[in-house]
Amino acid sequence: MSGEAASTPKLYAIIRIRGRVDVHPDVEYTLKLLRLHRKHHLVLYPSTLPGIDRMLHKAKDWITWGEIDRETLIELLRRRGRIPGDKPLTDDYVNKALGLTGGIEELADKLMAGEIMLHKLYDKNKKKWIIKPVFRLHPPRGGFRGSIKKPYGAGGELGYRGAAINELIKRML
């Protein structure tokens, strides 16, 4: 059983919660590598990416993360996905640019399976992203439930939160 769980990669949704003031240089560099330059930005990385766990642990006092589910991922791609020119992501664009006939739903399935990674969709010839890997979100509706200076397990918002990340993402769309 454990072999089956290990073979199924998880897709982490990582959100920067805290701002840019008083960040230690090592943490700032880690956030830069994760492409989390501003508050309320979200990135998607597979759990199988080498070093991702160490990066998350290093920046745990500035970010929150968890496993995103398929429905939330589809809604995120439809409402906040962007292409070059800051235009919204559409089924037609996904069909044309990536050759996926199922549109955004098929893109979400491939992201969940680890077959496609958004941070790898860069066209070196045109020097631009096919799909932008960073999602800009609103602050959460109703505000944060706890302090943004405490870990999630202690009644705050920071660190690993598992499947509860989906509820936060839906409030931030």
All domains of the chain in start order, with CATH: 1-173 (3.30.1390.20)
Residues forming beta bridges with residue 158, ordered by sequence position = 151
CB count in 10 Å sphere of residue 67: 17
Compute the distance between CA of residue 128 and CA of residue 92 in angstroms, rounded to an integer: 19
The answer to whether the CB of 10 falls within 8 A of the CB of 73 is no
Handedness of CA 153, 159, 163, 166 (dihedral sign): positive
Compute the distance between CA of residue 68 and CA of residue 12 in angstroms, rounded to an integer: 6
Verdict on whether the full-model pTM lies above 0.85:
yes
One digit per residue, the tens of pLDDT, for the chain of length 173 reads: 344 445 577 899 999 999 989 999 999 999 999 999 999 999 999 988 899 999 999 999 999 999 999 999 999 999 999 998 999 999 999 999 888 888 899 999 999 988 888 888 888 887 888 889 999 999 999 998 889 999 998 999 999 999 999 999 999 99
